[in-house]
A and B are shown apart, each in its own frame.
Chain A
Amino acid sequence: MTLWFEDIDDVTVWPLGDYTFTEEEIIRFAKRYDPQYFHIDPEAAKHSHFGGLIASGWHTVSVGHKIMVDFMYAHDAEQRAKGEEPGVSGPSPGVNKMEFKAPVRPGDTIRFDLTVKNKRKSNSLPGWGLLTSIISAYNQDDELVYRSEIASFSKLRDYKPKLKERVLLAMAAMPVFRKLLRK
Chain B
Amino acid sequence: MSNPITKDRRHFEDLRVGEVIQLGERKLSKDDIISFAKEFDPLPFHLDEEVAKKSLLGGLASSGWQTAGFSLRMLVDEFLSKVAGMGGLGFDNLKWKRPLMKNDTLTGTITVSSLRRSQSNPEMGIVVLDFDMRNQKDQQVMTLSLTNLVEVRDPSAPIKGDAA
Residues of chain A at the chain B interface (Cβ within 8 Å): 32-38, 44, 47-50, 54, 56-58, 61-63, 65-66, 69-70, 90-100, 103, 146, 178, 182
Do B94 and A98 touch across chains, with their CB atoms under 8 A apart? yes
9 shortest interchain CB distances as A-B pairs? A33-B69, A95-B94, A94-B95, A99-B90, A62-B40, A98-B90, A66-B40, A94-B94, A100-B90
Q: Which residues of B contact A146 (CB under 8 A)?
A: 90
Whole-angstrom distance between the Cβ of A144 and the nearest chain B Cβ: 12
Q: Which residues of B contact A69 (CB under 8 A)?
A: 41-43
Do A36 and B80 touch across chains, with their CB atoms under 8 A apart? yes
Number of interface residues of B (CB under 8 A): 36
A135 to B96, CA, bound (A): 18
Q: Which residues of A contact B72 (CB under 8 A)?
A: 33-34, 56, 58
Q: Which of A38, A62, A95, A97 contacts B69 (CB 8 A)?
A: A62
Do A65 and B73 touch across chains, with their CB atoms under 8 A apart? no
Who on chain A is nearest to B94 by CB? A95
Whole-angstrom distance between the Cβ of B41 and the nearest chain A Cβ: 6
Do B56 and A91 touch across chains, with their CB atoms under 8 A apart? yes
Mark interface residues in B39-58 (1 if CB within 8 Å of A CB, else 0). Answer: 11111000000000000111
Asked if B158 is at the interface of the complex by the 8 Å CB criterion, the answer is no
Do B87 and A35 touch across chains, with their CB atoms under 8 A apart? no
Do B5 and A47 touch across chains, with their CB atoms under 8 A apart? yes
A137 to B78, CA, bound (A): 30
Do B73 and A96 touch across chains, with their CB atoms under 8 A apart? no
Q: Which residues of B contact A35 (CB under 8 A)?
A: 73, 76, 81
Contacts A/B (CB < 8 Å), 27 sampled? A33-B72, A34-B72, A34-B73, A35-B73, A35-B76, A37-B5, A48-B3, A48-B5, A48-B87, A50-B87, A56-B72, A57-B87, A58-B65, A65-B40, A65-B65, A66-B40, A66-B41, A69-B41, A91-B57, A92-B64, A93-B95, A94-B94, A94-B95, A95-B144, A98-B92, A100-B87, A100-B88
Q: Which of A33, A92, A96 contacts B92 (CB 8 A)?
A: A96
Do A44 and B5 touch across chains, with their CB atoms under 8 A apart? yes
Q: Which residues of A contact B43 (CB under 8 A)?
A: 69
Q: Which residues of B contact A99 (CB under 8 A)?
A: 89-90
Q: Which residues of B contact A56 (CB under 8 A)?
A: 72
Whole-angstrom distance between the Cβ of A41 and the nearest chain B Cβ: 8
